Amino acid sequence: MSFTYTPFDYAKARQTTERIRDFYEKKETGVQIHVKSCASLATPKLAPLNSFSFPEDLHKYLDARAHNDYLFARFHETIEDDFIPSTSPWYGIAEHTAFLGGKVDFTETTTFQHQICEELEGWRDLKLDRNNFWIHLVADGIKYLHEKWEEFIPVRMRGADGPSDIANAIRGNDLFYDIYDDPDELAEMMKFCAQAVNFTLDLQRENATQIGGGCINGFGIWTPGKHVGHISEDFSTMISREVYEEHFLSALEDCVKDSDSSMLHVHSLGERMIPVFAGVDKISIMELSSDPNCARAVEVYRKYREELKKKTIVIAPTYEELLGMGDLFESNKTIIWYYAENEDDAKRALAAVEKYR
């Protein structure tokens, strides 16, 4: 049975980007709300990730993902929020760093990468290669989606690990020893890691859909100009603030310095790092993620609201948490990610924040 696709409403999307641009540039407080999914929406079940053979099955796999994203975009036409649905390659998590080498394991739902270099000096043999297998899967995957699917749904970037997370992929747990055993060599490797972030993001940006003078990043957030992100510095949750500032902060600053803005993913487990990240001027958007056995992201946001005054904060509350966030909407600038149970649930969340938009 054939399926008829309907062109995406890019006129509406451009109106949304105008509203978002004003939110970024002109507002000091308030809220956007992004309904990112709907649990009751029936979509075809994707085959396990490890059942595909890449790169032979690349287009088959991307078509299946894009079809499901298209179905959500059609559902989303009934929702008057600030979200622009999109599609993108996704292979788990290893694609963020596997373009530097190393063994990758595929599972049903994700990918895992093994340590790349057994010795610290081994980073000097790593190459930023446009023809790398994983760059092909990501950057050329975006290009394929751009050419086949952009009429029906925008194509977003995939995102990347930040410099310290790339360093952690290169050296594994040995990175903790490198800090003390050879800080000078580590500093040189960190410069390379910052370059690696922009290497993959620049290639992704080449074919990501341009709307209103910007594109949609890997976390589904539209940003104007040259935007770096999303990126993560999850490694920072395992070290002290002082160690991060001494050995890793300069690489983060270096990788975002030439951007118009950037988005950083932060875990509640590493909340002590929030003042450090907030001090990086080019980081304009920070996503606070809740972790098990830690304070909820909403609590972390409230704790650091003063440090985060000049940032746009992305957070995914429950409906009950959303109802109690009015003080944050009135004092800070917030993007709500809402994962709806059904259409009625999505619309009640919109109603709950309408007076702050």
Residue 1's pLDDT is what?
42
Classified as helix, coil or strand, 254 is helix
What CA–CA distance (Å, rounded) separates 158 from 330?
A: 32
Mark out the alpha helices in the chain (DSSP H runs).
Answer: 10-26, 58-76, 133-135, 141-149, 163-171, 175-181, 183-205, 241-247, 249-256, 274-278, 297-303, 319-323, 326-331, 343-353
Asked if 286 and 310 count as a contact pair (C-beta separation under 8 A), the reply is no
Phi and psi at 247, nearest 5°, equal: -115, -20
What CA–CA distance (Å, rounded) separates 311 from 23?
A: 12
Residue 229's pLDDT is what?
85
**Distances 47 to 38, 50, 109, 310, 349 between C-alpha atoms, Å:** 20, 8, 9, 43, 32
- As to burial, measured by CB atoms within 10 angstroms (0-12 exposed, 13-18 middle, 19+ buried), residue 185 is middle
Q: Mean pLDDT of residues grouped by 10 in the chain (357 residues)?
A: 87 96 94 96 95 97 98 95 97 95 94 96 97 96 98 97 97 97 98 98 97 96 94 96 98 96 95 97 96 95 96 97 97 97 96 95
Residue 3's pLDDT is what?
86
Percentage helix, strand, coil for the chain under 3-state DSSP, each rounded to 5: 50, 15, 35
Which of 338, 340, 335 is CA-nearest to residue 30?
335
Asked if 255 and 162 count as a contact pair (C-beta separation under 8 A), the reply is yes
Helix axes 249-256, 163-171, angle to 10 degrees: 120
**Distances 38 to 14, 50, 238, 315, 344 between C-alpha atoms, Å:** 23, 26, 34, 17, 10
**Distances 268 to 138, 288, 303, 306 between C-alpha atoms, Å:** 29, 6, 11, 17
Residue type, 337: W
Q: What angle do CA 81, 86, 90 make, to 5 degrees?
A: 135
Q: For residue range 135-145, what is the model confidence (pLDDT) as tens digits?
A: 999 999 999 99
What CA–CA distance (Å, rounded) separates 247 from 190?
A: 8
Find the length of the chain.
Answer: 357
Q: Which residue has the tokens 């590493």?
A: 270
What CA–CA distance (Å, rounded) separates 142 from 152?
A: 14
Phi and psi at 190, nearest 5°, equal: -65, -30
Pairing between strand 104-106 and 111-113?
antiparallel
Q: For residue range 184-198, what is the model confidence (pLDDT) as tens digits?
A: 999 999 999 999 999
- Structural domains in the chain? 10-356 (3.20.20.210)
